[in-house]
Structure 1
Amino acid sequence: MFSTVSPIDMLIGIGLGSIVLWHVVPVGRTKTRLIAQLVLFAAMTLVLVGYDLSPVRFEGFRGSGPEALPLQAAKLLWWLHLAWALIGLVRIYLVLEGRPREARLLQDLVVGIVYLGMACSMLAFVFGVPIGTLVATSGVVAILLGLALQSTLGDVFSGIALTVGRPYVIGDWILLADGTEGRVAASNWRSTHLRTGSSNIVVIPNSLLAKLALTNVSRPNETHFMMLPLRIAPTRMPSVIVEVMRAALASSNAILQTPAPVVVLLGLDASALAFELQFAVRSPSQRVAARNEVLDRVYRHCKAAGLLLALPPTGGFAGNHPTEETVHPPTVTPLELIDAMPIFGSLVTAEKAALAASAVTRSFERGEVIVREGERLTNLMMIRAGTVARQCNGEPRGFLSPGDCFGETGLLTGSGEACTLEALSRVTAYALDQNAFSGLLADRPALAEDLALHLSQGVVSAPNGANVAGHSDGRVQAVLRSIQTVFHR
């Protein structure tokens, strides 16, 4: 059969058939496409060798006109399929290596080199173009292009260096020496894209990035350490103030407790005790929330312990600074706590004063379990001092600090506590019982709706122990019915 078909026609047929097969086989079957391509390329090579049509030497144009064109087309197809076979092998190798970032770089490099080499081979062995003269001429052109594209080439080679060195990968959070920071969103030959904390994209040329000192915050993990300087008036002994700061850090939910936060004394003078809080957060993106919470906890614990914030440092000594001998630490009364709590925001001054008058002081020692999960508290507890740890199903669920309250669901709705509460330090609290609220609800029934609205914003348990779910209006009505049931309204 092959005697009736010329070898050139066979080469052209196999080459075109390989191109058709490449488009017919699904894209996801990469290995199948590569194997078929290699088999057909091997068949083209056997035909060339069998009929003494060497693709690697220029034999002149056999004949002229129509006779020369098919042979040139056959050799061109062979060289093209050689390039595709080499590129396919490189891609398979890089995929098996499992290094996508290097794979992209090496693939681009290999593809460029292969196509350039194949183009030169086609010119030399198919068309007989003198490559030496062409290379000499292209060298001058390359010099001119290099001068014109100096900046772009600098970015490209810097991109190669960054890719090989792997100082970061896509998804890492990096900090540059000029203060720019963000998560690496994309990286290519020309530039690297960072997504900042404000969700903006910063495009940095690779040549500039290669010159800057770079800190990879994501390695070995994204744990990020923060330092927060503070100044406290020297109204108590430094050891007492340090313990208050440790309690503030221990009650923070947004920071990591392992490694343990540290309080560092920086200096002491007549106006202030300067210190630094050192703590870690799980990710750089949590720094703002952690800083805000730590400042809030410091304020609460300082107010609970009667500590005063120091004035900002000035150039000279002006005014009388409070000291341990001259200051009278303020006390936090039940009325002040009631004023600061959102749950009592709808009460008028007289109603708040009536509640404060009925408050009873309660104390819990460190490690004492205040209430267990599912048990009901019949008092609303307002934390005056100390820290309370919460655990749900044996898992930590954060802390309560001075100014927080607990027990409101049990007092107002008759349901059990969602978490076990344990005193992390010595805790002093003001307790309000149901009798204090009965009179208020009797005089002002609308107060029940305000309390129900506040309680429904969190996770509230129904009297039967089931969580109230569904639409927000449904939760409000369910809590309101529970309040009315408890107080027989």
Structure 2
Amino acid sequence: MIDDALFGKPLISLITVGFAGIVVWHLLSRHRPTTRLVVQILFFAVMTLILVGSGIEPHRFQGYESEDPRALLVIVAKTLWWIHLAWAVIGFIRLYLVLEGSPREARLLQDLVIGVVYIGMALSVLAFVFGVPIGTLVATSGVVAIILGLALQNTLADLFSGIALTLGRPYIIGDWILLSDGTEGRVVESNWRATHILTSANNVVVLPNSFLAKLGLTNVSRPDESHLLILTIRIAPTRMPASVRHVMATALASCNSIVREPPPVVALKGLDATALEVELQFRVTSPSQRVPARNEVLDLVYRHCKSAGLLLAIPPSATVLTADLPTEESAKPPSVTPLALIEAIPVFTTLTSDEKRRLAETATVREFRKGDVIVREDEMLPSLMMVRAGIIAARNAGEERGRLAPGDFFGETGLLAGMQEVCTLEALTPVTAYEIDQEAFAPLLSERPALAEEIADHLASRAERFRNGASLPPEHARSAHAILKTIRTIFKA
């Protein structure tokens, strides 16, 4: 039986303060944990003073008369006191329990300790507010725990696997991982139950932690995201292996999509009467660059092989007579002519076959030694250069922006529109190029005045695309009308 003095205004005040504390705690921003903790401690302290002043001991159970409605006030008051005590402890945990440099471990430890605090609060309320015998409850809960454990076996397996993965840290959010079952992608979310992986197909794969813990895992993002690619190329054995290896190394050196440090590797894997098998090993900055890099390497291998007169070998599964295989004496690879290069240049797509042929006949051969500067930044090159062989580095403000390989071209903006070059072009290897000057191009414009408008439209759209991706001087940001006017001024057409 509780003394009547305990049921009155103090209990009403305590309950009011308790509910007010709950409202204020929820109104405060989660991004201000210190303020929330201070407010929580103040409300808890006020509730404790009211309880002590009223003679109520929240840590002891007091009997109630079942028919006495005033006992409900004591139950509510003591329950609110235990709730506020638990929240104050949790506030301390979230604010001060931090593992330096290990945010995931700190979060896991916080969640575990907070779970223990809530369990302790619930047991305390049952024991000291409602008088439930905890010992008997714990003994009975063992049977309940076995039943729940069997029913929640998969969920618990995911839970403990999540704890193991969190402590082991085989990956973090943002890492690119490859699983032994073939699943590959970037980790976008990891919680107690599952890990979410964003694949290259832009789909999110949700893997239960218990399933993920059983798989072999490769973290592609460690120690960094650079990724090794290996391509096998088969070359007809019409040249010495050392010459083939040099051509393959040059092709890799001209690639803009691969990592230059560590340098790519060219490995000769095998040689027989049908092919010299070459393995190209190179790295990309991230797994997302694998397809663009592979495409560029294959394109450059083809162009350098064609430039050097190498032939690709027939597939191993193909049936062919030995007498039909090319040899050093019988191999006749197609030569890279000025006409073939002109047909590959987009700005000349409007020319007829006869016009392209006549333009190709005017091309002259230019040779550059390694280290020669072909044209400097902000200078105008009044001729079109088509790379026949070698590698050219394009530098802007002292920084390399890319490399040109056989089949690439430059100088068309200076030849046709009087624009300055954006980059300094320097020969990284001995370079052979075909050159077409303004005198060779003038007859075409005089015969076809409409050709100037077509070229102006093409150069304007190309300059706009380039300007969106790089910093260009003001003279490059010109309209098709301004370029057309310049073309007519240069060629007096």
Shared fold per TM-score greater than 0.5: yes
Match for 1:432: what amino acid? I
Offset at residue 213 of structure 1 (A): 1.1
* Deviation at residue 443 of structure 1 after TM alignment: 0.7
Letter in 2 for 1:16: F
Return the alpha-carbon distance in structure 1 between the equivalents of residues 23 and 255 of structure 2.
65
State the alpha-carbon separation in 1 of the partners of residues 90 and 456 from structure 2.
69
- The answer to whether residue 173 in structure 2 is matched with residue 178 in structure 1 is no
Partners of 1:468 and 1:359 in 2: how far apart? 26
Distance (Å, rounded) in 1 between the aligned partners of 2:336 and 2:6: 107
Question: Which residue of structure 1 aligns with residue 458 of structure 2?
Answer: 454
1:104, 1:158 → 2: CA distance? 16
Q: Does 1:404 align with 2:408?
A: yes
Which deviates further from its counterpart, 287-296 or 206-215?
206-215
Equivalent residue for 1:429? 433
Aligned match of 1:43:
46
Question: In terms of mean alpha carbon deviation, does 49-58 or 140-149 score higher?
Answer: 49-58
Q: In the TM superposition, what are the counterparts of 1:3-402 in structure 2 within 5 Å?
A: 7-49=10-52, 51-61=54-64, 65-94=68-97, 99-314=102-317, 318-319=321-322, 320-402=324-406
- Runs of at least 4 residues off by over 6 Å: 2-5
Q: Following the alignment from structure 2 to structure 1, what is the Cα–Cα distance between the partners of residues 157 and 321? A: 58
1:484 alignment counterpart: 488
Does the CA contact (< 8 Å) of 2:227 and 2:287 recur in 1?
yes
1:466 aligned to which of 465, 468, 474: 474
Residues of 2 paired with 1:445 and 1:284: CA distance? 49
Q: Distance in 1 between matches of 2:481 and 2:224?
A: 46
Equivalenced residues, count: 483
CA contact (8 A) 1:306 1:330 kept: yes
Q: Does the 8 A contact of 1:146 with 1:153 survive in 2? A: yes
CA distance in 2, matches of 1:361, 1:241: 25
Amino acid of the residue matched to residue 350 of structure 1? D
- The root-mean-square deviation of aligned C-alpha atoms, in Å, is 2.4
TM-score using structure 1 length: 0.93
CA positional deviation for 1:449: 2.1
SS in 1 for 2:70: helix
| Amino acid of the structure 2 residue aligned with 1:93 | Y
Structure 2 unmatched runs, 5+: none
Alpha-carbon distance between aligned partners in 2 of 1:125 and 1:372, rounded to the nearest angstrom: 87
Deviation of 1:198 after TM superposition, in Å, equals 1.7
- Find the residue that maps to 1:133 and give its secondary structure: helix
Is the Cα contact below 8 Å between 1:415 and 1:465 reproduced in 2? no
* Cα distance in 1 for residues equivalent to 2:100 and 2:22: 27
Q: What SS does structure 1 have at the residue aligned with 2:38?
A: helix
Where 1:53 maps in the other structure, the secondary structure is coil
* SS across alignment from 2:34: helix
Alpha-carbon spacing, 1:132–1:193, altered in 2? closer, same or farther (3 Å): same
- Kept after mapping to 1: 8 A contact 2:269/2:279: yes
- Is the contact made by 2:197 and 2:206 (CA closer than 8 Å) also made in structure 1? yes
Aligned-pair distance for 1:95? 6.4
**What is the alpha-carbon distance in structure 2 between the residues aligned to residue 39 and residue 379 of structure 1?**
82
Q: Partners of 1:207 and 1:488 in 2: how far apart? A: 77
Q: Give the conservation status (yes or no) of the 8 Å contact 2:99–2:106.
A: no
Structure 1 residue 237 displacement after superposition: 0.8
Matched-pair contact (CA < 8 Å) for 1:25–1:33: yes
Deviation for aligned residue 1:354: 0.4
Q: Provide the rounded CA distance (Å) in 2 between the counterparts of 1:431 and 1:198.
A: 44
- Classify the secondary structure of the residue corresponding to 1:458: helix
C-alpha separation between the residues in 2 aligned to 1:444 and 1:114?
87
Q: For residue 296 of structure 1, what is the amino acid of its counterpart?
A: D
- Distance change >3 Å, CA 94–CA 207, structure 1 → 2: same
What displacement does 1:404 show?
0.8
Please give the alpha-carbon distance, in whole angstroms, between the structure 2 residues aligned to 1:153 and 1:340. 63
Matched residues in 1 for 2:110 and 2:479: separation?
58
- Shift in Å, 1:62: 6.7
The one-letter code matched in structure 2 to 1:152 is T
Distance 1:190 1:228 in 2: 39
| Alpha-carbon shift at residue 36 of structure 1 (Å) | 1.5
Deviation per residue, 1:375-422 (Å, 9 max, x gap): 111210111111110001111110111111111111111122111000
> Does the aligned pair in 1 maintain the 2:234–2:278 contact within 8 Å?
yes
Identity in percent: 60
Secondary structure of the residue that 1:271 maps to in structure 2?
Answer: coil
CA contact (8 A) 1:468 1:478 kept: no
Alpha-carbon deviation of 1:455?
A: 1.9
Please give the alpha-carbon distance, in whole angstroms, between the structure 2 residues aligned to 1:459 and 1:104. Answer: 52
Distance in 1 of aligned mates of 2:393 and 2:347: 21
